[in-house]
């Protein structure tokens, strides 16, 4: 045959030509946004944070003390606090994590020099000075305008200790505890929006069975009393990954429960003994990490279908109060500090998670990325007086427009899949919402590590005036910001070509884009 007569080199170039024609001829992704059928509220609490007494998460990362040479206000790092303000953080979960079930709140009140020094047994065995305690936490919340999500100690505490902490925070009476709070400098009660009863009670929080924990929850929650106008929503400590029995058992508690937590961490390998690196990873690990990220969608679906059955009135929310990337600790660092670099892969991973959370916003009342500063998938990394914003920080900042927006359904067609061996991922993740400013916003994540994505979008029920936004991309799969090069990954402007109620846009490879669609006058 003729082909067999071609010289090998010519065969290769003919094939290359054929392949590139085939690739460039791939049809654009077709997106239809249906503004006529608005869905649920996307709670701003989906953009919650988590700060644990772990490594440099609190000490050095947020709190340096009043006498530090690092510029601070009352001991709080000004650079970090000012950067966090831009994220409009809705809530912070504190003091853990596993630390929460070893924390005794009385250690962290009163004159700092009189507070006991303990050992943080769970994280690195380092000294815990208790310099950052209840009053400092609420001062941070006030600076950031965020709500409190307290994780109470069920594992090694008692119902009395937990109840008294809540009384200390919220009582406006003349009780001894309220007076103690006043003596320690806080006259008015604080608002406590959320209260978690323990953490990971199946593991570090006490190695319990769900049935046993469910009884303890009922007992502890009974004594969590606060004035009517300041009663926190109570969150039971639930399951993780593919587990559903915690959700099932806890959602059958008849009253005094507002939420059940759920934890999911993404590891590139899926193997806790050898998780994978934060930087310098292979194309396969890009794909496997995002494939593992996408698994949360199925886990949420299963847990939510149980809630639909046991709680058809929708009173109990699912609180994904720990999620994020978790990599192997860098050589030479204290493995108990969970410090890791943060790349464009983490930004893409966060964008994918947000789109999934938006789609389940009817039941997902809150999520908390782990963690805010210097720990796991952090917003900010610090080193002495230096600070750097991570790609994940920028994704949170880009998505502030989704806080308390209204979910708008989207259908997508022609989404190619990106493959490595047996593993494959869709090249695009998308969600849409109508924001409080009346504009439509699209979150568009290109998961493809190599190729841009051509998008044709139609907005049903809305004429378009403009379609502009900002995009975060990386030059390589592990592009990241460093103290010496802090802006390698930072958002840049992007615009779509519009025509009546449709637009076209090319998304860069490895990118997260938030597009603002301003309404035009109807034709």
| Residues lying near ligand AHR in the complex (CB under 6 A) | 52, 96-98, 199-200, 322, 370-371, 376
Residues 6+ apart with CB under 8 A from 406: 38, 39, 40, 41, 42, 433, 434, 435
Structure tokens at 175: 């009780």
Nearest to 509 by CA among 445, 457, 456: 445
Nearest to 491 by CA among 398, 429, 423: 398
- Residue 200 vs 397, nearer CB to ligand AHR: 200
What's the min distance (Å) between Cβ of 96 and ligand AHR?
5
What's the min distance (Å) between Cβ of 162 and ligand AHR?
17
Structure tokens at 457: 């979008």
User: Which residue has the CB atom at the shortest distance from ligand AHR?
Assistant: 97
- Residue 168 vs 264, nearer CB to ligand AHR: 264
The residue count of the chain comes to 523
What's the min distance (Å) between Cβ of 60 and ligand AHR?
17
Long-range contacts formed by 270-277: CB under 8 A, 24+ apart? 274/328, 275/326, 275/327, 275/328, 276/327, 276/328, 277/327, 277/328
What's the min distance (Å) between Cβ of 97 and ligand AHR?
3
Q: Which residue in 102, 167, 322, 397 is the catalytic one?
A: 322
Q: Is the dihedral of CA 238, 243, 245, 247 positive or negative?
A: positive
Give the 3-state secondary structure of 162-208: HHHHHHHHHCCCCCHHHHHHHHCCCCCCCCCCEEEECCCCCCCCCCC
Whether 385 is catalytic is: no
- Residue 223 vs 240, nearer CB to ligand AHR: 240
- Residue 97 vs 210, nearer CB to ligand AHR: 97
DSSP secondary structure letters along 261-330: EEEEEE-SSS-TTS---SSS--HHHHHHHHHHHHHHHHHHHHHHHHHHHH-TT--SEEEEEEEEE--PPP
Whether 200 is catalytic is: yes
Structure tokens at 406: 């209204």
Burial label, 244 (beta-carbon count in 10 A; 0-12, 13-18, 19+): middle
Number of Cβ within 10 Å of residue 304's Cβ equals 17
d(CA 272, CA 329): 12
What's the min distance (Å) between Cβ of 113 and ligand AHR?
28
Helix (H) or strand (E) holding 140: helix 134-144
Q: Which residue in 136, 139, 164, 200 is the catalytic one?
A: 200
- Residue 98 vs 401, nearer CB to ligand AHR: 98
Q: Residue 203 phi/psi, 5° resolution? A: -135, -110
- Residue 130 vs 237, nearer CB to ligand AHR: 237
Structure tokens at 220: 């502890």
What's the min distance (Å) between Cβ of 121 and ligand AHR?
12
What's the min distance (Å) between Cβ of 31 and ligand AHR?
35
- Residue 195 vs 407, nearer CB to ligand AHR: 195
Q: Which residues are catalytic?
A: 200, 322
């Amino acid at each position: 045959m003729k082909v067999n007569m071609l010289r090998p080199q010519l065969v290769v170039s003919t094939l290359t030509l054929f392949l590139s024609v085939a690739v460039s001829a791939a049809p654009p992704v077709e997106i239809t946004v249906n503004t006529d059928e608005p869905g649920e509220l996307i709670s701003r609490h989906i953009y919650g944070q988590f700060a644990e007494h772990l490594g440099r998460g609190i000490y050095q990362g947020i709190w340096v003390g009043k006498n530090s040479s690092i510029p601070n206000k009352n001991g709080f790092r000004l650079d970090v606090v000012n950067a966090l303000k831009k994220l409009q953080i809705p809530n912070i979960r504190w003091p853990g994590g596993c630390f929460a079930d070893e924390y005794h709140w009385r250690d962290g009140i009163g004159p700092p020099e009189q507070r006991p020094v303990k050992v943080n047994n769970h994280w690195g065995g380092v000294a815990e000075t208790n310099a950052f305690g209840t009053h400092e936490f609420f001062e941070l919340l006030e600076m950031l305008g965020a709500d409190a999500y307290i994780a109470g100690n069920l594992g090694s505490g008692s119902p009395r200790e937990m109840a008294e902490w809540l009384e200390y925070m919220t009582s406006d009476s003349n009780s001894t505890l309220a007076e103690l709070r006043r003596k320690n400098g806080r006259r008015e009660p604080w608002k406590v929006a959320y209260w978690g009863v323990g953490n990971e009670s199946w593991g570090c929080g006490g190695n319990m069975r769900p049935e046993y924990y469910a009884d303890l929850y009922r007992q502890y929650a009974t004594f969590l009393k606060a004035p009517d106008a300041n009663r926190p929503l109570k969150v039971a400590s639930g399951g993780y990954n593919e587990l559903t029995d915690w959700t099932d058992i806890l959602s059958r508690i008849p009253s005094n429960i507002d939420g059940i937590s759920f934890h999911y961490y993404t590891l590139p390998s899926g193997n806790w003994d050898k998780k994978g690196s934060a930087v310098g990873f292979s194309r396969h690990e890009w794909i496997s990490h995002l494939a593992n990220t996408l698994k949360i969608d199925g886990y949420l679906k299963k847990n939510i279908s149980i809630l639909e059955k046991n709680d058809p009135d929708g009173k109990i929310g699912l609180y994904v109060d720990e999620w994020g990337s978790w990599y192997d600790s860098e050589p030479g660092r204290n493995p108990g500090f969970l410090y890791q670099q943060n790349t464009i892969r983490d930004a893409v991973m966060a964008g994918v998670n947000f789109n999934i959370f938006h789609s389940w916003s009817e039941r997902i009342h809150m999520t908390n990325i782990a963690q805010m500063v210097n720990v796991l998938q952090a917003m900010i990394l610090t080193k002495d007086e230096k600070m750097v914003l991570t790609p994940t920080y920028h994704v949170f900042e880009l998505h502030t427009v989704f806080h308390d927006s209204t979910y708008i359904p989207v259908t997508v067609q022609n989404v190619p899949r990106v493959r490595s061996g047996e593993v494959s991922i869709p090249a695009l993740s998308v969600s849409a919402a109508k924001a409080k400013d009346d504009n439509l916003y699209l979150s568009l994540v290109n998961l493809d590590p190599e190729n841009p994505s051509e998008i044709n979008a139609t907005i049903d029920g809305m004429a378009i005036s403009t379609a502009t936004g900002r995009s975060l991309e990386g030059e390589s799969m592990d592009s990241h910001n460093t103290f010496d090069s802090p802006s390698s990954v930072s958002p840049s402007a992007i615009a779509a070509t519009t025509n009546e109620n449709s637009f076209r846009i090319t998304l860069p490879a490895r990118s997260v884009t938030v597009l603002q669609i301003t309404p035009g006058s109807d034709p």
